[in-house]
Structure 1
Amino acid sequence: MSGDLPTAFAAIVDDFNAVTAPDRLQMLLEFSRNLPALPERYAEHPELLEPVPECQSPIFLIAEVDGAGDDAVVHLHFSAPQESPTTSGFAGILHEGLDGLTVADVLAVPADVSDRLGLAEAVSPLRLRGMAGMLGRIKRQVREKAAA
């Protein structure tokens, strides 16, 4: 189920699937608390971040690509409201699972990864689409920046 994911992301999926639905919600809350703050360069210039309208809560993100080509390293930054723990939690999962990976590894992450967390019975499909929207934007930004 998680064999086609990068190691860190596979571990997250496995952890979520090893516990009951209520515990998955608790884990999601933990990820929301562990989402790193925006670096000052973005906190002072939020217009540089891209909104994710698929999310029910206002969330913004930016992917940075250090280097060129498939081996360039990706760094992710999110601005998510703390009063929206589901959205912040999804951002936290994406950050922990993807930040520091190569362009090739990020682009290889399957689009259905949000479905693999076993949260369908705990959160609405609309919220899961929000996470898929975040991943889609991350991958598009990474593709564009790696090609530049």
Structure 2
Amino acid sequence: MPASLAEIAADFLDLAPKDRLQLLLEFSQGLPDLPERYADAPESLEQVHECQSPLFLTVEVGEGMPRGAQPVSLFFSAPPEAPTTRGFAGILHEGLDGLSVDEVLATPEAAPMSFGLAEVVSPLRLRGMVAMLSRIKRQVALKSGAALA
């Protein structure tokens, strides 16, 4: 798992289960707004249907660097009244945004299970976070020309 995501997981695991929900809410509140180029073009975002609340995402892959080293930028859209879904997106944004294509693609599919959230949210909700990561990796592979790990 990338160091940035592992550090977030450690922060969650250092807390009692009830406090993990508060940290998830903080990630929800910290999720950046969509830039205008996506806010004005919602068709350019992919919906993650496995999420309990409407969540849309897209990725950008930087250019001008060797294949696999290009930086990845993540963009999410989720309603403010969906704090769990927004929190999952916030975790993935903070943990993966700015990493290289290779680092994002090497992120284990089971990474969302590393935050100790199964004790405080339903498995159905966690499935949404797993689906977000899967979509991110698929888009990164497609947009970079790299193979999925």
Is the pair's TM-score, using the shorter chain for normalization, greater than 0.5?
A: yes
Residue of structure 2 equivalent to 1:53? 49
Alpha-carbon displacement from aligned partner over 1:12-38 (angstroms, at most 9, x marks no partner): 000000010011000000000000000
Task: Give, in angstroms, the shift of residue 121 of structure 1.
Answer: 1.3
Q: What is the aligned-residue identity percentage? A: 60
**1:63 counterpart = 2:59:** yes
Residue of structure 2 equivalent to 1:125? 123
- Unmatched runs of 5 consecutive residues or more in structure 1: none
**1:22 counterpart = 2:18:** yes
Alpha-carbon displacement from aligned partner over 1:33-55 (angstroms, at most 9, x marks no partner): 00000000000001100000000
**1:82 counterpart = 2:90:** no
Matches within 5 A, 1:6-45: 6-45=2-41
Task: Give, in angstroms, the shift of residue 69 of structure 1.
Answer: 1.3
Task: Give, in angstroms, the shift of residue 6 of structure 1.
Answer: 1.2
Task: Give, in angstroms, the shift of residue 8 of structure 1.
Answer: 1.1
Residue of structure 2 equivalent to 1:101? 99
Secondary structure of 1:97 counterpart? helix
> Aligned partner of 2:99: which letter?
L
For 2:145 and 2:112, how far apart are their aligned partners in 1? Answer: 26
For 1:147 and 1:116, how far apart are their aligned partners in 2? Answer: 28
Q: Over the residues paired in the alignment, what is the CA RMSD in angstroms?
A: 0.9
For 1:120 and 1:10, how far apart are their aligned partners in 2? Answer: 17
Residue of structure 2 equivalent to 1:134? 132
Structure 1 stretches of at least 4 aligned residues deviating more than 3 Å after TM superposition? none
For 2:111 and 2:21, how far apart are their aligned partners in 1? Answer: 17
Q: 1:112 aligns with which of 89, 98, 110?
A: 110
For 2:4 and 2:127, how far apart are their aligned partners in 1? Answer: 22
- Unmatched runs of 5 consecutive residues or more in structure 2: none
For 1:118 and 1:37, how far apart are their aligned partners in 2? Answer: 26
